[in-house]
Amino acid sequence: MSTARGPLVLGLETSCDETSAAVIDGENRVLGHVILSQDEHAVFGGVIPEIAARAHLRKIDVVVDEALAQAGVTLEQVDLIGATAGPGLIGALLVGVCWAKSAAFALGRPFVPVHHMEGHLFAPSLEDPEAQPPFVGLLVSGGHTMLLHVPEWGDYRLLGETRDDAAGEAFDKVAKLLGLSYPGGPEIQRVAALGDPKKYVLPRPMLRRNQTLNEAAYFDFSFSGLKTAVVDLTRRVGHEQSVGAERPNIAAAFQEAAVDVLASKAMRAVEATQCDRVLLGGGVAANLRLREALSERLGAHGRLFHASPRLSLDNGAMIARAARFRYDRGDVSGFDASASAGLEFPGLRQGGIS
């Protein structure tokens, strides 16, 4: 049903524990969008890959049908189909990719494999047309932490990344330590709001004043030491009083340290690139304290772009949008393209300052 304004795109996301499908029109308006979070993992305190893959398989048909129904279109009217091809859990990715390829093949439509993190970069633009390059991109999810300079779509200059745990992973692990449920990010945020962020001070890993632009540590992140510092603090507090009562203060101290590191490194990128437009993407972009800290530091002249929490977390709409971008550039794959747990980020290159 291609119109003068462009094609109708179906996007599928199954890289982790959300089964999602969306239909966007030629002007990138979201016509139908379903996100089904798998609660099968809650009892395990983390995502179990085999369970995730099986749950995607059970749910993908209904999720796509409902997204099409919301959009008021049939599958036959869709012009191209995109799916997250990586990175992510291989069994989970295969469900979306195989579904998309089969449907595209049967209908004689193009199939577009999408890099999950490129999808996160496009999410804010679905709600705010001004969320376009140039910008400094801070991608913070359960699997990745990347600081990018994006002069234009498709040109991703990597300034820094995490050397160990991803930011979201740190939120999830600390939440588990504090006896909070999975996913930990929203739980830490909720509990931290009840605490005093100044009662305990935790270290800011990889953030030192005397670092210089020519060291990789200037933009890189590390979160595993912060998690260990929370373990030590919890033990120390446990000797003197009940950890339960101190949980809000510990959660607030952790959130403050993680946010300080993320916001400080993003501001270093703003200074180094002379670009005061920052785009936050990935699940941790839903964190209110992080948004607040970044907009405070950017001040009145800078711009902060982020999607609503629904579009910050994994979703099919951002995948449909990224698929449209790749399609317009001619990056359509043959049906031999497959899912890859460690898919390379297209257009990513090292050394962002030029």
Binding site for ligand KG4 (CB under 6 A): 16, 141-143, 168-169, 171-172, 183-186, 189, 282-284, 286-287, 313-314
Closest Cα partner for 47 from 92, 114, 98, 85?
A: 92
Residue 183, binding choice from Zn ion, ligand KG4, none, Cβ under 5 to 8 Å by partner class? ligand KG4
Whose Cβ is closer to ligand KG4: residue 109's or residue 306's? 306
CB of residue 188 to ligand KG4, shortest distance in Å? 6
Residue 284, binding choice from Zn ion, ligand KG4, none, Cβ under 5 to 8 Å by partner class? ligand KG4
How crowded is the C-beta side of 246, counted as CA atoms within 13 Å? 19
CB of residue 36 to ligand KG4, shortest distance in Å? 13
Buried b (16+ CB within 10 A) or exposed e, 174-184: bbbbbebebbb
How crowded is the C-beta side of 326, counted as CA atoms within 13 Å? 29
Give me the DSSP letters along 104-151. HHHHT--EEEEEHHHHHHHGGGGT-TT--SSEEEEEE-SS-EEEEEEE
CA distance 33 to 185: 23
β-strand partners of 114: 84
β-strand partners of 348: 156
Whose Cβ is closer to ligand KG4: residue 17's or residue 220's? 17
Contact status: 145 vs Zn ion (CB under 5 A): no
CA distance 34 to 222: 34
Whose Cβ is closer to ligand KG4: residue 75's or residue 90's? 90
Residue 205, binding choice from Zn ion, ligand KG4, none, Cβ under 5 to 8 Å by partner class? none
CB of residue 251 to ligand KG4, shortest distance in Å? 11
Contact status: 141 vs Zn ion (CB under 5 A): yes
Contact status: 314 vs Zn ion (CB under 5 A): yes
CB of residue 335 to ligand KG4, shortest distance in Å? 26
Positions touching Zn ion (CB under 5 A) are 141, 314
